[in-house]
């Protein structure tokens, strides 16, 4: 018992996670050419202020399982920067959640939200709670306990959380219900709500569809190519991966892989999404091994069977690759394998899924590389559309949201590629995204004063 408590404390207190430094270092490297171009950046200490969160909120979440046993988890909300609008960013429920992981995600969110051109600041939150294997009532009790601690810090004009890994519309529904019971307010305090009460049509699809709209535009402008008939690889089997696969298939691409935390499916005839959904949607989170049992000709590779830090999902011949699972899931060896197998574009659906050395290699070898903060911004954009609809009590139809999403992803691509060109970094969409976003946030920070 004592050992278990100490191990948990060690996990949540020691800084073994370098993802925040990784994210900051990537951004600051991109910004080198422009920080000297405007003396106000130094005068207003913009960089120092930008890498320091406004507030890190941590709380205890106490809840009862179905056998009335008490459980304790850590809950967090990192409100990083609200220069452009109310704090906005998802909640992640996963055992790997620590302050470090959430700081990286909240920091990235500032830039992603700025790239949308919409009035939203950057935040992220979540818990080290593991939803896997929990009953619906346990999820509900956990969400209610989490909101009891979080509610004083959020509000429709203050901070508007949404979903992320382990948090979909079911969890958002329970969180919203508890917020309403406590505050008696029926407002747009959370996005990603079920459509039945204030959710936006297309929010579940938005991140994945947006990733593919971005890819379509980038391939058309840079290579005069389309996705039709092309073999694509996708990692993950959650919200972002499923909707990326769905849109790729609608555009005529052949998606041959998906993956989860335990392994990868390769299906040369194209992933059957109905089977993936049966295994993964509505909180089921069953192993993808079940896919190979149902679909003859498909192959399941257990993660632990794959050697040397490489991942089976990236060792397949493909035209374009879409990492849509989690951070640092595409390593240097994976990038070498992708290049060897003829991949021409890597389009990130997840947040920071590609390791820095892998990005550098892909860029050196002229593989088009789009960072998640640009290509996965469709999710937060449609969340902002949901906030607009809630504020005006309107409901937009599916086609309207879809058209606006497509247009917004094209604009993000344009903003990122033009900025890259302007600063002599043609086709470097990492630098283009970081510089374009930084200029917008920095200007607001300067105008708002210290």
Site of interaction with ligand NDP (CB under 6 A): 163-166, 207, 235-241, 259-262, 280, 285, 324-326, 329, 349-351, 376, 379
Least distance (Å) between residue 263 CB and ligand NDP: 8
First to last CA, the chain: 48
Do residues 320 and 230 lie in contact, with contact meaning Cβ atoms separated by under 8 Å? yes
Instruction: Report the residue number, 98 or 351, with the smaller CB distance to ligand NDP.
Output: 351
Complex with ligand NDP: residue 236 or 442, whichever CB lies closer: 236
Q: How far apart are CA 288 and CA 290, in angstroms?
A: 5
Both tokens of 128, joined, read: 């080290």
Structure tokens at 229: 């008939």
As measured in angstroms, the least distance from the Cβ of 184 to ligand NDP is 29
If the CB atoms of residues 183 and 328 are measured against ligand NDP, the closer one turns out to be: 328
Q: Are 91 and 161 in contact (CB under 8 A)?
A: yes
If the CB atoms of residues 85 and 161 are measured against ligand NDP, the closer one turns out to be: 161
Q: Where are the alpha helices (DSSP H) in 324-377?
A: 332-340, 356-364, 372-375
State the nearest-atom distance from the C-beta of 138 to ligand NDP, in Å. Answer: 17
Cα–Cα dist 103/77, whole Å: 9
Distance CA 363, CA 92 (A): 30
The residue nearest ligand NDP at its CB is: 238
Contact 192, 172 (CB under 8 A): yes
Q: Supply 377's token pair.
A: 């911004």
Within 13 A of 340's CA, how many CA atoms are on the CB side? Answer: 9
Pick from 438, 435, 442: which is nearest to 419 by CA? 435
Query: By C-beta, is 8 or 261 nearer to ligand NDP?
Result: 261
Output the DSSP codes for 209-225: HHHHHHHHHHHHHHH--
| Residue with smaller CB distance to ligand NDP, 262 or 426 | 262
Annotated active-site residue in 88, 124, 193, 280: 124
Q: Is 124 a catalytic residue?
A: yes
CA–CA distance, 43 with 28 (Å, rounded to integer): 17
CB of 285 to ligand NDP, least distance (A): 5
Q: Give min distance, CB of 261 to ligand NDP, in A.
A: 4
Smallest gap, in angstroms, from Cβ of residue 142 to ligand NDP?
15
Per-residue tokens: 399: 């086609």
The residues that are catalytic are 124
């Amino acid at each position: 018992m004592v050992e278990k408590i100490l191990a948990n404390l060690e996990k949540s207190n020691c800084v073994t996670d370098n993802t925040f430094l990784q994210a900051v270092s990537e951004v600051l490297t991109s910004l080198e050419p422009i920080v000297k171009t405007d003396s106000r950046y130094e005068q207003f200490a913009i960089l120092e202020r930008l890498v320091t969160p406004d507030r890190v909120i941590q709380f205890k979440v106490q809840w009862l399982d179905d056998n009335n046993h008490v459980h304790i988890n850590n809950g967090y909300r990192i409100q990083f920067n609200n220069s452009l609008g109310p704090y906005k960013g998802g909640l992640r429920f996963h055992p790997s959640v620590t302050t470090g992981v959430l700081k990286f995600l909240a920091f990235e969110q500032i830039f992603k939200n700025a790239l949308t051109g919409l009035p939203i600041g950057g935040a992220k939150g979540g818990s080290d709670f593991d939803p896997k294997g929990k009953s619906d009532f346990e999820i509900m009790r956990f969400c209610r306990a989490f909101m009891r601690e979080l509610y004083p810090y959020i509000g429709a004009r203050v901070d508007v959380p949404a979903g992320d890994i382990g948090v979909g519309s079911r969890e958002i529904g329970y969180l919203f219900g508890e917020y309403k019971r406590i505050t008696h307010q029926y407002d747009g305090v959370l996005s990603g709500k079920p459509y039945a009460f204030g959710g936006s049509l297309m929010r579940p699809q938005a991140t994945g569809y947006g990733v593919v709209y971005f890819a379509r535009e980038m391939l058309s402008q840079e290579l005069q190519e389309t996705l039709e008939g092309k073999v694509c690889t996708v990692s993950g089997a959650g919200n972002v991966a499923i909707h990326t696969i769905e849109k790729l298939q609608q555009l005529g691409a052949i998606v041959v892989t998906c993956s989860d935390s335990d392994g990868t499916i390769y299906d040369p005839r194209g992933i059957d999404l109905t089977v993936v959904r049966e295994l993964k949607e509505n909180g089921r989170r069953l192993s993808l091994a079940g896919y190979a049992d149902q679909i003859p000709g498909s192959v399941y590779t257990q993660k632990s069977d794959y050697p040397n830090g490489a991942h089976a999902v990236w060792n397949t011949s493909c035209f374009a690759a879409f990492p849509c699972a989690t951070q640092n899931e595409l390593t240097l060896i994976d990038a070498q394998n992708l290049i060897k197998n003829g991949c021409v574009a890597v389009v990130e659906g997840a947040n920071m899924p590609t390791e820095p050395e892998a990005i550098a290699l892909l860029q050196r070898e002229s593989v088009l590389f789009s960072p998640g903060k640009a290509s996965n911004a469709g999710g937060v954009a449609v969340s902002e559309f949901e906030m607009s609809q809630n504020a005006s009590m309107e409901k937009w139809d599916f086609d309207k949201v879809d058209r606006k999403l497509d247009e917004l992803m094209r604009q993000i691509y344009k903003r990122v590629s033009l900025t890259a060109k302007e600063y002599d970094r043609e086709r470097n969409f990492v630098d283009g995204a970081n510089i374009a976003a930084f200029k917008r946030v920095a200007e607001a920070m300067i105008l708002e004063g210290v």
